[in-house]
Structure 1
Amino acid sequence: MVDDPGLKALAEAARLSPDNLPLRRHLAEQLLGKGYLADAEAEFRAALVLAPKDPDIMAGLAEAFVRQSSYGEALSALEPLLSEGGYPPRIGVLAARALLGEGDLHKAAFRYHEAVSRDPSVADPELAARLAAPPVERVPETPAAAPAEEPEEAAYLAPSAVTHEQSTAEVERSKFSFADVAGMEDVKEALRVKLLLPIQQPELFAAFGKRAGGGVLLYGPPGAGKTHLARAAAGELGAAFVTVGLADILDMYVGSSERNLRATFDLARRHRPCVLFFDEVDALAGRRSDMRQTANRQLVNQFLAELDGVDQSANEGVLVLAATNAPWYIDVAFRRPGRFDQLVFVPPPDAEARAAILRILCRDKPLAEVDFAAVAKVTEQFVGADLKGVVDRAVEAKLQESIRAGRPIPLSTRDLLTAAKAARPTSVREWMATARNYVMHANESGAWDELMPYIQRKW
C-alpha cells in the first residue's frame, strides 16, 4: 500500500482526472522510482489504454514487470517495439534484462550489445558482467585495405587468428512431442508430411524420389507457439534439436557471420537426423533489396547456399525449420522449391485449442474442478504466451492465499477467470492489421492466401 503523502495526492488527482495522460504517466514513473511496483504496473496499464503505442509507457510497464521478475510479461510488453526495429537503445537493454531472467543468455547478449553499440550511454556494467563473454581481440585498422566506398566494413574484418569453424549453437534432445501441443492439427499434419514421414518411412518416399530433409517456414503472431512446435517436431522424431539464435550467427566482423552460419549447418549435418531451428529468421534472411551493406547481402547468399547444400545429399536428414513474425520481410529467394518452399501459418488458437492449452499449462498444479471451456471463452485473441501469463497470474494469487492458509489451495475456475479478465491479448490484433495490408495489397504471388480466412474476421 502506498503510504507516501505526495504519491497519495497524485493518485487522488489521477482518480479525479482519469484521462489526463501526462498526470498518469508522471504518477506511474514516481511509483516505479519509489519501488511501488504493483501500483506502478497498474498506472502504466491505465496510461497505455490512453496511449497504446507510447514507447515510454511500454518501457515503464516492462521495467515494472522485470523488477517483479515477470520476465515473460515484460517481453510481451516490449514485443511491439522490438518487432518494428529502430527502437530506442534503452529498450534493447531492458529486453536483455528480461531475456536473461528467462534464461536466454544468447539473445540477451545480442540485444544488450546491439543497444550499447548504438548508444554507449545506456551501458549497464552489472548487466554486462552477467552477460560477460571472452573478449575478441580486434586487429588494428588498415585503411589501405578497405575499398573507398565501404570503409565502415573494413574496420570490422575478422582477424584470422581468432577465426574458428565452430558453432556456438548447442545440440539437445527435446522432451516434447505433438501430444504436448494443443490444437493446431493442420499445422502438425503439414509438419508430419513435410519433415517427419520421409525419415519415418524412407522406402515409401524413396520410391517417389523424395529425400528426407527440406525446409518449412513457420509464421504467425508473436507467442502463438512456433518455437514450441519446432521442439515438438524434434521430439516426435526423436531427432537432435539445434536452436539457432541471432547471437549464434551475427558477428561484428565481416565474414564471421557467414562462417558461423556454415559451422551451424555443419553441426546439424554431423548429428543427423536433426531439426535445425532458426528463430527470428527475418533478421538473417531479409530482403537483399532493402540492405545497404554488402556484408548483410553476403549473409543472405550464404544462407541460400547452405540450404541448397554442396551436393544433392548434403542436407539429407537435416530438417530446417524457421520461425518469424514478419514473413513479408524475408527475401523471396528463400521461398524457392528446395529451400523454405512451404510456408505454414501458425494461427491464434481457437476456443477449443485455448481450452486445451490451459489444460496442459495447469496439469502439474493442484486443481479443483475447472471449467477450461469457460476460461477459453473469455480469452478471445489470446495466444499461448498470453494464456501462460493468465495461469501464472492465477498461480501467484493462489500462492498468496495458500501461504496465509498454511496449506496448498487448489486452483479453481474463478481464479483463472479473474486472472483472464485482468489480462489483455498482447499481439494478435496488431499482427492481423499488418497481415491484412499484405494480403489485400501485396499478394500477387498468392503467398498469403492462407491468411485470407483470418483477416476477413473482425479482429
Structure 2
Amino acid sequence: MLDDGGLRALREAARLSPDNLPLRRHLAEQLLAKGYLADAEAEFRAALLLAPKDVDVTAGLAEAFVRQSAHGAALAALEPFLASPGYPPRLGIIAAKALLGEGETGKAAYRYYEAISRDASLEDPELAARLAIPVPTPSAAPADPVPPSPPEEEEVERSKHTFADVAGMEAVKESLRVKLLLPLQQPELFAAYGKRAGGGVLLYGPPGAGKTHLARAAAGELGAAFVNVGLADILDMYVGSSERNLHATFDLARRNRPCVLFFDEVDALAARRSDMRQAHARQLVNQFLAELDGVDQNANEGVLVLAATNAPWYIDAAFRRPGRFDQLVFVPPPDTAARAAILRILCRDKPLAEMDFDAVARATEHMVGADLKGVVDRAVEVKLQQSISAGRPIPMSTTDLLAAAKGAKPTAVREWLATARNYVLHANESGAWDELMPWIKAKW
C-alpha cells in the first residue's frame, strides 16, 4: 500500500488511462525515486509492453532490478541495447552496477569507463571507488602523461565446470572436443597426422546463449588453466599500451600451458581495419594477428584460443585465415530440451517442490540462458518474500516459474535473428555463414 498521496493519485490516473505511456513512465520513475522498488518494477514492465524499445523505460526497469539485487535480470534487460554501438551512456553505468553485483569487476570497469568517456556528467565516485578506478578532480592540473607500468602478474583460473554443467548444445560441445580438446588429450594420435595441440575457435551467436560458460567448461573438461580476457584487461588510453597488454596476456597463457585463453566481445579487439579511422586501433588488430601466429610454429602449442562475439560479421577477415580463428562454431539459442536442462541446473541448489521443467521450457520460447536466469531470479525473489512472512523456507514450484516467465520477454534473439538473416541471405559470398542457413530457414 502506498503511503504517498501524490503517488496514489498518479497510480489512479494510470489505471484510468492504461495506454498513456508518458504517464506510466512518470509513475514508474517516481516510484523508483521514492524506493517503492517492486511497484516501480511492475509499472516499468507495464510501460515496456506499450513501448518495447523505449530506452528510458528499459533503463528504469534495469535500475529497479539492480536495486533489488536482481543483477542477472538487469543485464538481460539491457543486453539488446548494449550490443549496439553508440548505446546511451546511462545504460553503461547501470550495466556496470549489475556486472559488479555479479562479480564481473573487469567488465564492470570497462562499461563504466566507456560510459563516462562519452558523458562525464555520469561520473559516480562511489561506484568508481568500488571498481578501483581513480576519479579525476577538476582542480588537479594534468601533468605530462606517464605511460602506465606493465600489468602485474595475473592469476590463472582453474575452472570447476565441465561440459556436464553445460545444458544442451551437444553438437557444439562435440565440435569443440574434436577441434580443441582431443589433440591435447591424445597427442600421439594427432601428431601422426601432423595436427598440433592448440588453435583458435570463434564462438558466435545471440547474446546470452552461454558462450562464456561454454569456454570455461572447455577448460574444466581438459583440466587446463583458464584465462578470461575482458576488454578492460587490454584496452588502454596510452598509445602502445594496449598492444603490450595483449602480448602479456598471450605470454601468460604460454607459461601456463595447457591453457584456454578466452576473449569475450572479441569484435571490439578484432574489428575490420577498413572501418577504423585511427592508426593505433589498426595496430592493435595487427598485434592480435601476430600473437595468434606466434613467433614460430610452436609458439602457441598447447594454447587453445577461444573467442566469443555476437557480431562475427564485423570481425576483420584476416582472423579467419587458417591457423587463426579459422574455425567458426555457431552457439544457437537453446531449444526446448536445452531450456529445460538449463532450468534444472539453475534450480538445483534451491528448495524445490515437484517440478515440471518441460512445461516451463515450453513457456519460454526464444529465451536464452541469461533470460532464464532472470526468470529464476524473479521467482526466487517472490519465494523469499513468502518464506520471510512464513518464517520458514517454502519450496519453489512449477507455478512460481511459470508466473515469473509470464512477465518476462526474450531479450535479444529476435533482433539478432533479423540481423543474422540479412548477412546469411545478402552478404554471404564467401560462404562464411553457411552454417547459419539451415537454422535461419527453420526459424524464419
The C-alpha deviation readout for 1:171-228, integer Å capped at 9, x for no partner, is 1100000011111000000100011000000011000000000000111111111011
1:103 has 2:78 as partner: no
Distance 1:450 1:391 in 2: 32
Alignment counterpart, residue 331 of structure 1, candidates 313, 316, 324: 316
Match of 1:248 in 2: 233
Distance 1:387 1:117 in 2: 33
Alignment counterpart, residue 418 of structure 2, candidates 404, 414, 433: 433
Flag structure 1 segments of 5+ consecutive residues without an equivalent: 142-155
Matches within 5 A, 1:153-192: 159=147, 162-164=148-150, 166=151, 169-192=154-177
Match of 1:2 in 2: 2
The C-alpha deviation readout for 1:88-127, integer Å capped at 9, x for no partner, is 2222222211111111111111211222222221111111
Matches within 5 A, 1:40-439: 40-133=40-133, 159=147, 162-164=148-150, 166=151, 169-439=154-424
Aligned residue identity for 2:11: A
Distance 1:272 1:66, change over 3 A: same
Aligned residue identity for 1:13: A
Distance 1:30 1:216, change over 3 A: same
Distance 1:240 1:139 in 2: 41
Flag structure 2 segments of 5+ consecutive residues without an equivalent: none
Distance 1:208 1:275 in 2: 23
Following superposition, the deviation at residue 457 of structure 1 comes to 3.7
Q: Once structures 1 and 2 are overlaid, which stretch shifts more, 255-264 or 104-113?
A: 104-113
Distance 1:102 1:310, change over 3 A: same
Q: Secondary structure at the match of 2:201?
A: strand
Distance 1:179 1:169 in 2: 28
Amino-acid identity (%): 81
Q: Secondary structure at the match of 1:194?
A: helix
Following superposition, the deviation at residue 168 of structure 1 comes to 6.3
Aligned residue identity for 1:68: Q
Following superposition, the deviation at residue 366 of structure 1 comes to 1.9
Following superposition, the deviation at residue 138 of structure 1 comes to 11
Contact 1:169-1:248 at 8 Å conserved across structures: no
* Structure having greater relative contact order (Cα 8 Å, sep ≥ 6): 2
Contact 2:168-2:334 at 8 Å conserved across structures: yes
Match of 2:435 in 1: 450
Distance 1:402 1:19 in 2: 35
Q: Secondary structure at the match of 2:227?
A: strand
Aligned residue identity for 1:53: K
Match of 2:14 in 1: 14
The C-alpha deviation readout for 1:401-420, integer Å capped at 9, x for no partner, is 22233322222222222222
Distance 1:232 1:138 in 2: 48
Q: Secondary structure at the match of 2:161?
A: coil
Distance 1:408 1:352 in 2: 29
The C-alpha deviation readout for 1:279-324, integer Å capped at 9, x for no partner, is 1111111111111100100000000000001000000000000011
Following superposition, the deviation at residue 257 of structure 1 comes to 0.1
Following superposition, the deviation at residue 11 of structure 1 comes to 1.4
Distance 1:394 1:255 in 2: 48
Structure-1-length-normalised TM-score: 0.92
Tell me the number of residue pairs that the alignment of Structure 1 and Structure 2 aligns.
Answer: 441
Contact 1:226-1:346 at 8 Å conserved across structures: yes
Contact 1:89-1:118 at 8 Å conserved across structures: yes
The C-alpha deviation readout for 1:335-386, integer Å capped at 9, x for no partner, is 1110001111111111111111111111122222211111111111111111
Following superposition, the deviation at residue 42 of structure 1 comes to 1.5
Aligned residue identity for 2:20: N
Match of 1:39 in 2: 39
Aligned residue identity for 1:337: P
Provide the aligned C-alpha RMSD in A. Answer: 1.9
Q: Secondary structure at the match of 2:83?
A: helix
Distance 1:358 1:301 in 2: 42
Distance 1:450 1:221 in 2: 14
Aligned residue identity for 2:259: C
Q: Once structures 1 and 2 are overlaid, which stretch shifts more, 212-221 or 18-27?
A: 18-27
The C-alpha deviation readout for 1:231-276, integer Å capped at 9, x for no partner, is 1000000000000000100000000000000000000000000000
Following superposition, the deviation at residue 134 of structure 1 comes to 6.8
Contact 1:274-1:317 at 8 Å conserved across structures: yes
